[in-house]
Amino acid sequence: MASTISDSELLARQYGGIKIVRVRPQAVSTLLPYGAIILVSMLVGIVLISTALERWGLRLVYRKIFTDLEADKNKDRQRRSFVYHHIALLLMFPIFFVGLQPGALFLFENSNLSDPAFGGERVRHGTIGDVLFILFQLYSAYFLFELAFRTRFASAINIAHHLALLLIAQTSLVLSLDLKRHPEATMEFYMCLVWGAFDIVAEMPMHVIMIIWRVRRDRSPKLLSWLGFGLSAWVVSMACAEIGITVFLLQKSWDQWSVEWKVATPLIFSMWICAQLHGARIFFTMAWGERRKVKSARQEPWPPAP
């Protein structure tokens, strides 16, 4: 009795174990026509979470620390950043853990976007593409919120990074509606998934440490200096790993990309990496400032005996 072999298995035998080379063009999700309302709904939800945190949540948890930030008009930047770090963690943790299993199946296994998610029935639990599409929209809504919330406090390179991420993520989703004209749309979605995974893994420790930084500021300069140096090294190491994997994936699949994507993909990825390295430089500078506080405290003369 002849066994049936799926398209993914046939491609795996032909091209080997690198998924991006053998991924076939496929629509991301049947939810694509509802993408706008999903994105807007998630953005509204994030705004409501932000409002609840600013008005009640952070006041209850941090009390004097947050009320001092609110009372001093010169600390508006620090207050916004403090709120933003909490929102980022509240969103990144569920994005990471919900997307871990379906994302891994699509990135490394022979699963297609139309396969059932979480090992359940397709109708009941949705497809892998449905889950990833919703998480893409949630991540896009988070970046849209950050651009509006931090306003003048965001650096030019971070604004460029966020705009590029939004543009390429939404483009990879929309182009999958016309796979005959844009067969590389699924590969671009694959790359966006890789970059998004790196972005979340690199940034989650950063948000945790920045919250600790605000809470322990002026009380634990030695601890903050070590956290800052460690965070800077973490971001640089993640950026280097991301560069290596991206170059490897693009080199293996280069012949399958159209000319416009051969230009756009490396360009947007370069902005992505520049933003990460810019952040690493800032963390290093902050850590160095705390290290100077430790050294100056050691050099202070002992107070005279009473």
- The contacts of residue 44 (CB under 8 Å, 6+ apart) are none
CB 127 within 8 A of CB 113: yes
Cα–chain-centroid distance for residue 184?
A: 23
Cα–chain-centroid distance for residue 18?
A: 23
Q: What is the pLDDT of residue 217?
A: 84
pLDDT digits (tens, 9 = 90+) for 26-60: 999 999 999 999 999 999 999 999 999 999 999 99
CB 37 within 8 A of CB 134: no
Neighbours of 157 (CB within 10 A): 15
pLDDT of residue 13 exceeding 90: no
Cα–Cα distance measured from residue 201 to residue 205, given in angstroms and rounded to the nearest whole number: 8
Q: Give domain limits for the chain.
A: 27-294
pLDDT digits (tens, 9 = 90+) for 123-139: 566 899 999 999 999 99
Residue 129 DSSP code? H
What pTM does this model have? 0.87
With bands split at pLDDT 50, 70 and 90, how would you rate the model's confidence at 300?
A: low
Of 21-25, 34-38, 53-57, 184-188, where does mean pLDDT reach its minimum? Answer: 21-25
Residue 28 has φ and ψ, to the nearest 5°, of: -65, -50
**Averaged pLDDT of the chain:** 87
Cα–Cα distance measured from residue 211 to residue 206, given in angstroms and rounded to the nearest whole number: 9
Torsion of CA 172, 177, 148, 146, to 10 degrees: -50
Residue 127, SS3 per DSSP: strand
